[in-house]
Amino acid sequence: MDRKIEKKRWTPKKIATIAIPTLFFAIVLYSFIFGDRSSKLNVEVEKITISEVRRGEFQEFIPVTGTVMPITTQFLAAVEGGRVEMKYVEAGTQVKKGDKIIGLSNTNLLLTILNNEANVNRASNDLRIARLQMEQNSLSLRSQLNVLDYDILIQKREYERSQKLINANLISQEEYEQRRDQYEYSVKRRDLVLESQRQDSLFRLSQIRQLETALDQMRSNLEIVQQKQENLTLRAPIDGHLTSLTAEIGEIKSVGQVVGQIDVLEGFRIRAAIDEHYLPRVEVGRYGTFDFAGQSHRLIIRTIYPEVSNNRFEVDLYFVNEEAEGIRRGQTCHIRLELGDLSEEILLARGGWYQKTGGQWVYVVDESGGFATKRNIRVGMYNPQVFTILEGLEPGERVITSSYDSFGDIDKLILKE
């Protein structure tokens, strides 16, 4: 008996026809949803620098350049202006305090001195004349008083005699009154002479005091001018080395002009120029170090000059311990100036990466070492060697720290040997 053969609905051919497109579509869909769509760039490992993130001690410091200077320096300035007439020593010699350095001449100052001397002599003569006149007037008045006293004595006797005679009716009333009036007039005249003498003495005493005051003032002025004349000879203010002397015979020097410098070579300091950006953070007492002749020397800031010139300010650093042996004035020192205390931080080496990212992200190398991807980070303090990492990296991770300029905006770097 014949059996009806049913036709199969899912033949292998049909299944294959449907399954292959479906599988392809699923692969494409998966790649679209879950696949790595980031941009990639092949990079040769030998052309980049990879640094490891580590935990360690961090010291914030900045490099500054300093110049060695004597610990004590005094400038030689012209207290009075004038023409250079004499040079007693040359630059480079040792001088003692008070030694003559240069001599100046000033014609106007000489004329002023002569004029003041003449004024002093004239005032002295005026005072002498006033005292002589006072003495002469005093003698004259005493002579007048002697004459008056004698006249009064005679007139008093005649007046007293006339009183007796008038009582005896031996003289007339008119004669009596005449002698009385003459006596009283002489007494009053003597009183006037005495008052005149007193007033004249007071006037002449006041005149003499004024002349004495004027004479003292003129003498003081003369002493000041004579001191100015002495200042025309410039002398060494201290013992030391005459480092520089800018004066030639015949040259005119103005008041206050610096003509030389004397250094005391018993010790040294270092003057360093620092960018004004660090002015709020540089303090007296901060330390610095520099290397010289194979040894490291520690310095401390003792003086800060806050005036900013050409975007920089200056500080003076002094040796904490012994000075560097063999160091000389004018030498240049490269100093590591500390801005903070030691602390333990997560550290990443400095490099060209920072110029591209501004410290906002880096390329972190995968543990396999086959690729590196972008990662956002946050940096903190830094010094010329490392940055401190506040967020985004852990010790032991590896980061590309060379320049990123050739990577563009690539998200993933494929590292090739």
Q: Which of 186, 220, 253 is the last residue of a domain?
A: 253
Asked if 192 and 199 touch (Cβ cutoff 8 Å), the reply is: no
Residue 268's region, left for phi above 0, alpha for psi from -120 to 50, else beta, is: beta
Going 128 to 130 to 134 to 137, the CA torsion angle's sign is positive
Give the range of the structural domain holding residue 93, as residue numbers without chain letter. Answer: 76-103+232-253
Q: Which of 253, 287, 312 is the last residue of a domain?
A: 253
* Rounded Cα distance, 198 and 191, in Å: 11
Whether residues 141 and 220 fall in one domain: yes
Whether residues 159 and 227 fall in one domain: yes
Whether residues 81 and 218 fall in one domain: no
Whether residues 313 and 378 fall in one domain: no
Asked if 255 and 80 touch (Cβ cutoff 8 Å), the reply is: yes
CATH of the domain at 193: 1.10.287
Eight-state DSSP code of residue 407? G
Domain assignment present for 15: no
Number of domains in the chain: 4
* Rounded Cα distance, 342 and 332, in Å: 27
The β-bridge relationship of strands 332-338 and 343-349 is unpaired
Domain assignment present for 394: yes
Q: Which of 338, 373, 389 is the last residue of a domain?
A: 338
In 3D, which of 330, 331, 336 has the Cα closest to residue 291?
A: 336
Asked if 363 and 308 touch (Cβ cutoff 8 Å), the reply is: no
Whether residues 266 and 290 fall in one domain: yes
CATH of the domain at 96: 2.40.50.100
Quote the distance between the C-alpha of residue 208 and its chain's center. 51
Whether residues 112 and 227 fall in one domain: yes
Tokens of 255: 């008041």
The H or E element that residue 289 is part of is strand 287-292
Whether residues 183 and 123 fall in one domain: yes
Whether residues 191 and 274 fall in one domain: no
Whether residues 356 and 210 fall in one domain: no
CATH of the domain at 388: 2.40.420.20
Buried b (16+ CB within 10 A) or exposed e, 227-254: eebebbebbbeeebbbbebebeeeeebe
Domain assignment present for 193: yes
Domain assignment present for 47: yes
Domain assignment present for 9: no
Domain assignment present for 7: no
Strand, coil or helix: what is 210?
helix
Strand, coil or helix: what is 302?
strand
Residues 6 or more apart from 303 whose CB is under 8 A from it?
284, 315, 316
Whether residues 98 and 245 fall in one domain: yes
Residue 101's region, left for phi above 0, alpha for psi from -120 to 50, else beta, is: alpha
- Is-above-0.75 flag for pTM? no
Tokens of 227: 């001191």
Whether residues 203 and 114 fall in one domain: yes
* Rounded Cα distance, 317 and 292, in Å: 15
Query: Per residue of the chain (417 residues), what is the pLDDT tens digit?
Result: 455 555 555 566 666 666 666 666 656 555 544 445 557 888 888 889 999 999 998 888 889 999 998 888 888 888 888 888 888 888 888 889 888 888 888 878 778 777 877 888 887 887 788 778 777 777 777 777 787 778 778 878 877 777 877 777 777 787 877 878 887 887 888 878 787 777 777 777 777 788 888 888 888 877 777 777 787 888 888 888 888 888 888 888 888 888 888 888 778 899 999 999 889 889 999 999 999 888 899 999 999 998 999 999 999 999 998 888 888 888 999 999 988 778 899 999 999 999 889 889 999 999 888 899 999 999 988 888 889 999 999 999 999 999 998 888 888 888 887
Rounded to the nearest 10 degrees, what angle do helices 107-167 and 173-231 cross at?
A: 170
pLDDT of residue 16: 61
Asked if 268 and 66 touch (Cβ cutoff 8 Å), the reply is: no
- On the 0-12 / 13-18 / 19+ scale of CB atoms within 10 A, 61 is buried
Domain assignment present for 12: no
Domain assignment present for 11: no
Whether residues 113 and 185 fall in one domain: yes
CATH of the domain at 330: 2.40.30.170
